[in-house]
Each structure stands twice: as C-alpha cells, then as structure tokens.
Chains A and B, each alone.
Chain A
Amino acid sequence: MSTLPTPDAGCESQHCITCGDVGDPNTVLAVDGDRGLALCCGPDGARNTVEIALVAPVAAGDVLLVHAGTAIARLDDQAVPS
C-alpha cells in the first residue's frame, strides 16, 4: 500500500488541503441565498459549492477564503500592498 488512492476532490497524493489548514481564494460566480451556498471558482479553475453562512451576504465577483468547503473570510482588496 504505497500510495494514497485518489479521492473525489481536494486531496491529492501526499497533500490534503483540508488537513493542512489550507485556505484558497475562490471567486463567487453565483449565489444560492436560500440554501446559504455559492458556486465559486478556485485558483485552479475548478468550480466548488461553498458554504457562505460565515461571510454572507456575498455577490458575484467577491473573493472568499475557502477552507473545507466553507468560506471563512472575505479577501480585502485594500489590504494588498502595491
């Protein structure tokens, strides 16, 4: 048993982004406010369904920090140094 089987999403051999406290910037594409979910695009172009209860309200174009399928913060454009 030398390698990790390929899981459904998010975990690749030797690297699990959820276990590793990794947060990825995801751009909101569409919002389903009734269910508290948003369709987002991750840095690799993959589309993910994201829980938005902790950062709502959000709108298309917002950039969220997503960890374990949940948006835990909103990225602040003003705080990026030029």
Chain B
Amino acid sequence: MQVIWQGETIPIDLSFMEVVNTRSGEQVQLCYHCHKCGAGCPIASFMDYTPDKLFRMAQLGLKRQVLSSSTIWLCSACHTCATRCPNDIDVTRVMDTLKEMALEEKIKSRQKVAALFHKGFLANLKRFGQLHEASLMAVLKLKTLNLFSDLKLGLKMFLRGKIALFPKRIKGRKEIRKLFKEIRRRGKVPQES
C-alpha cells in the first residue's frame, strides 16, 4: 500500500505503529478519530497536526512525517487528551515515545527550542530533584542565545513569587538519580546528544 503525499508516493510501513505500540504500551489503532483530543488541546493551534491526525499518520505508517512533526515536541504533556480519550489511549505517553524515536533517528526537529526545553527540563530535574525555573530559564536562554524574550512575563512571575531565586533541593535526590539511571539502563531514553 502506498500513500500519495504532496505528490510524493510513500510506501507504507505498517510495522511502525506496532513499534510505537510496543514502546509506549498504548494501542494507537484504537483511535477512531473523534478529534476530542485535538478539540481540547491547549496547544493544538500551534501544532502542525492535531494528535488524532498524527495518530492517523502513525496508523498509516508514515514514520518520517510523524517523527519530524512539531506536534510531538509542542505537546506539553498536560494530559488533557489522555484523560478525555474515549478509547483510553494515553496520548501523552505516545508523544513521549515519538520524541524518543525522533531523537534516536536523529531527525532534525523544526521545534529546536522545544527539544532543548525538554532536555533542559530533565537535566534540571535530575540535578535538584524538583524543577528550578530560574536556572532552567538561564540554561535555555544561553543555549538559544535568545536573551531578552519573555522578560516582562518573567519579571511579573518573579514579583508574584512564582520563580524562586535559589533552587530547593529535595531530600531524595539520590533516588531521583537512581531513577534516571535505571531508565537509561533499560534503554528507554536515548543518550543526550
């Protein structure tokens, strides 16, 4: 079977969906495209495909198109879709799986900032055991060299006490690191490149 995509004929790899299923533990073929996930997604308007459309592409085995979509990186993992899905698909888990696969496949994302954010987020978490917004922001700004964006919002949040100056370290930092190590040992998260 072939899909004709913007004039290009793409042979379909139906095993792609099976890989996604196995790795995410979800059943992507259950999606019957009611669009409820896309309808409630706070970020849907910024995505190139809504989650259900992305799932459809996964069902058709359009691997490259799925892994290079902005959707998988823009997903903020708010779980709204996963809570609402009538077929009980944990969309967020599938998105995470797709992010991992995109990294493995070294597919250049059009959402570099989002990718950097995700990486910085995890590194921050590993270090402090809980998120320290200020240092995450600093890292992100240095990496993107976009120093002055969101300054106003940042200041507002700081004045309201939403951004702590110094990180709070939790007691169980060792356990958190162990968790990271264990997950990496199981080979579920690719090495940061």
Q: Decide whether A and B assemble into one complex.
A: no
Binding site for A on B (CB under 8 A): none
